[in-house]
A = this chain, B = another copy of it.
Amino acid sequence: MSKLTIAEKVASDMKSGSWIREMFEKGRRLKAELGAENVHDFSLGNPNEPPPDAFFQALQAVAADRQPALHGYMPNVGFDESRAAVAKFVSHEYRMEVEPGAVILTTGAAGGMNMVMRTICNPGDEVLVLAPFFVEYKFYIEQAGGKMVLVQTDEKFQPELDAIEAAITPRTRAININTPNNPTGAVYTEEKCRGLADLLKRHDDDEHPIYIATDDPYRRIIFDLDWCPTPATHYDRTIIVSSYSKDLSIAGERAGYVALPKALPYRDMIFAAMAMLNRTLGYVNMPAFMQRVVARCAEALCDVDSYRSNRDLLCHALLEYGYELTMPGGALYAFPKTPLDDVEFVNILMKHNILAVPGRGFGRPGHMRISYCVDRKTIERALPGFKAAIEEARNRLSPVAQ
């Protein structure tokens, strides 16, 4: 291949993810060998709960409506009635006023976050990301010309405020906040959210604005609280990015949004930039059909209880087997420590037909991500393997003479 066949940056990005692909390939071979039903796959963040009934009802109602113009272009920010439904939902969910005119419907939170990064980053601007982190942020930031700056969270995966403050430079333009968190399941405390806002206020002003960009698709997937704390409550320069992917279990439908709270400084200018970028970045608009579906079921929610009982089953068993684990408060993931090097341990799990993702893929080696958005039976069948794996690891660490 000529080195010019594809862009150098793209080739290098492909290479940097190659060990993940290698693990994925191993898993694929295992499934081919044993049958997919005999491999316990905890490697994917694909919600398994069925969409709520309200979603299927909305699908059929919208499909039955034969108005041709409803499949054509609308303003790039979305249909008015869909934006109004999202604004009403967001205002209630975040306990703050978000007007319909300040909502932009996007192709998922991924499209929204790319658009936000592009809106605010000049080349070389820095965006803080708390690790462990959703690896795609790196692409979103770099594709916008920015530079990702990682800041580790503490042992329980809560933000370390001093470390964040130490990472701020005159080039810092934003911090991405994802709570409940992928990959750790951490729900940031109210105290941390307020503390984060307070520290940012000491550095933010109109000449050196620092945005919080929230990535909130797991916001309603919480197990131990009635309401998920958010820095948006405490910090005006916040841009809310989210989607219905997890609420409605429709990750493949790319139904996302960006919402600009009323207190956001220069909101109109930011809105205008995003309305242009949503188009020029090639998303153009959230697909028309799904806009109309979401407008009809914006408050609906899948069965969170089922995820909670998955978490409880898996995590209590892991703790019993001796894994070190911070109980996840939300999202779809547990992030225990691995008793050995994370890649080595994930390979041991694979011998027990279990697929998980090494923590180094998320910026924290010595851990692994276990996605429990799977059938309860998958967890039940995998538990003996998790038990055997940690025992095998212990034997490797302190071999007993036979």
Q: Identify A64's interface contact among B8, B47, B60, CB under 8 A.
A: B60
User: Does residue A77 face the partner (Cβ distance < 8 Å to B)?
Assistant: no
Please report which residues of chain A, range 129-143, place their CB below 8 angstroms from some CB of chain B when the two chains form the complex: 136, 139-140, 143
Least distance between A59 CB and chain B CB atoms (Å)? 4
Q: Which B residue's beta carbon lies closest to that of A209?
A: B4
User: Does residue A227 face the partner (Cβ distance < 8 Å to B)?
Assistant: no
Q: Which B residue's beta carbon lies closest to that of A55?
A: B71
Chain A 203-222, CB within 8 Å of chain B: the 1/0 string?
Answer: 00011110000000000000
User: Does residue A289 face the partner (Cβ distance < 8 Å to B)?
Assistant: yes
A147-155, A245-253, A352-360, A387-395: which lies at the interface: A245-253
Distance between Cα atoms of A108 and B111 in the complex (Å): 14
Contact: A276 with B208, CB < 8 Å?
A: no
User: Does residue A62 face the partner (Cβ distance < 8 Å to B)?
Assistant: yes
Contact: B4 with A207, CB < 8 Å?
A: yes
Q: Identify A72's interface contact among B46, B120, B122, CB under 8 A.
A: B46
Enumerate chain B residues within 8 angstroms of A255, measured Cβ to Cβ: 287
User: Does residue A115 face the partner (Cβ distance < 8 Å to B)?
Assistant: yes
Distance between Cα atoms of A287 and B63 in the complex (Å): 15
A10-18, A183-191, A338-346: which lies at the interface: A10-18
Q: Which B residue's beta carbon lies closest to that of A106?
A: B282
Least distance between A303 CB and chain B CB atoms (Å)? 11
Contact: A284 with B108, CB < 8 Å?
A: yes
User: Does residue A95 face the partner (Cβ distance < 8 Å to B)?
Assistant: no
Distance between Cα atoms of A266 and B110 in the complex (Å): 29
Distance between Cα atoms of A143 and B280 in the complex (Å): 9
Chain A 143-176, CB within 8 Å of chain B: the 1/0 string?
Answer: 1110000000000000000000000000001000
User: Does residue A288 face the partner (Cβ distance < 8 Å to B)?
Assistant: yes
Enumerate chain B residues within 8 angstroms of A265, measured Cβ to Cβ: 5
Distance between Cα atoms of A26 and B140 in the complex (Å): 37
User: Does residue A397 face the partner (Cβ distance < 8 Å to B)?
Assistant: no
Chain A 4-34, CB within 8 Å of chain B: the 1/0 string?
Answer: 1111111101100100000000000000000
Distance between Cα atoms of A186 and B2 in the complex (Å): 35
User: Does residue A347 face the partner (Cβ distance < 8 Å to B)?
Assistant: no
Q: Identify A7's interface contact among B49, B113, B119, B290, CB under 8 A.
A: B119
User: Does residue A238 face the partner (Cβ distance < 8 Å to B)?
Assistant: no
Q: Identify A270's interface contact among B5, B8, B114, B208, CB under 8 A.
A: B5
> A residues near B, CB below 8 A?
1-2, 4-11, 13-14, 17, 44, 46-51, 55-56, 59-60, 62-64, 66, 68-74, 107-108, 110-115, 118-122, 125, 136, 139-140, 143-145, 173, 206-209, 248-255, 265-266, 269-270, 272-273, 276-277, 279-285, 287-290
Which 3 A-B residue pairings sit nearest by Cβ, starting from the closest?
A252-B288, A63-B63, A114-B282
Can you name 15 A-B pairs with beta carbons within 8 Å? Answer: A4-B208, A5-B206, A6-B119, A7-B120, A8-B122, A9-B122, A14-B276, A44-B73, A49-B68, A60-B63, A107-B107, A107-B287, A118-B143, A254-B285, A289-B290
